[in-house]
Amino acid sequence: MSRQHQFKAREENILAMAEQLLLESGDGDITLDSLAEQLDLAKGTLYKHFSSKDELYLRIIIRYEEQLFEINRIDDCPSAGIARMIFQQLLNPQKAMLLNQIEERLAASVTGLNRLFGELYDIRRQRMKRLLDIISIYLKDKRSSLSTRDYLSSIWAMGQGGAGLLNSSFYQRYLGRRDTLRYVFVQQMLELPSHYPADETDQDVLDEDMQELVEQIDTESEEHRNTTY
């Protein structure tokens, strides 16, 4: 294995272990000393990969976003794609909630990470375009007047809200079986478009809404590529 491959493999091990320790910590924070100890590495070796703990955290979030993007690239029926969008948050609610909280904290209080935030948002915009394709096909199949924008927002709200519920130690005492609750959430989202039947005039409006979203994403992506951090 070349030095470059060894470096990338070690970096992946660091990210995986850091994520595991974050999930085990319960408070969304770890020390680099504990991370180095778990990996049997010198602390200085960590700094060869990440300039700070905040950069490490953001790289974990980027890695997670890349994994979601790959999952959403699966090319099968749109209903399966919709289900995956929701399950991404509901199957590991602790991870979904924790990484979102860390991202919000970093965005609000940390400087010097603009380039990495740009990388994160670029991957997220690519994933969003893929989600819009899936949603658009599903809404047309269901002959629904629900806009892509509103349906995507509803899916995210259900995923985020469901993750919060499933991650709550208080509400878990009253929920019963988690698997049946996840199934209910997914079924509700799959059935939602049928409550908004469309007529022929609705399709033009839906197509315009979809196009506006895609153009906005493309414009922001181009601005990101032309930005010097």
What pLDDT is stored for residue 26 in this prediction?
74
- What mean pLDDT do residues 111-134 have? 92
Whether 205 and 124 have beta carbons less than 8 Å apart is answered as no
Question: According to the model, what pLDDT value does residue 202 have?
Answer: 60
Band of pLDDT at residue 204, cut at 50, 70 and 90: low
Confidence of residue 203 (pLDDT cuts 50, 70, 90): low
The H-or-E segment that residue 105 falls in is helix 93-109
Residue 186 reports pLDDT greater than 90: yes
Mean confidence (pLDDT) of the chain: 88
Per-residue pLDDT reduced to its tens digit, 123-141:
999 999 999 999 999 999 9
CB-based contact 181:175 (threshold 8 Å): yes
Per-residue confidence (pLDDT) for residue 161, from 0 to 100: 92
Instruction: Give the DSSP H or E segment for 208.
Output: helix 200-225
Among 212, 91, 189, 200, which Cα is nearest to 135's? 189
Task: Please report where in the chains the tokens 């959403």 appear, as a residue.
Answer: 72
pLDDT in the model for residue 201: 61
pLDDT of residue 215: 79
Lowest mean pLDDT among 82-91, 190-199, 200-209: 200-209
Residue of 178 and 104 predicted with greater confidence: 104
Write the pLDDT tens digit of every residue in 155-173: 999 999 999 998 888 887 8
CA gap 56, 46 in Å, rounded: 9
Q: pLDDT band for position 99 (50/70/90)?
A: very high
| pLDDT tens string 35-83 | 999 999 999 999 999 999 999 999 999 999 999 999 999 989 999 999 9
Distance CA 167, CA 164 (A): 5
Encode pLDDT of 21-48 as tens digits: 999 987 788 999 999 999 999 999 999 9
Average pLDDT over residues 179-189: 92
Give the pLDDT score at 152: 92
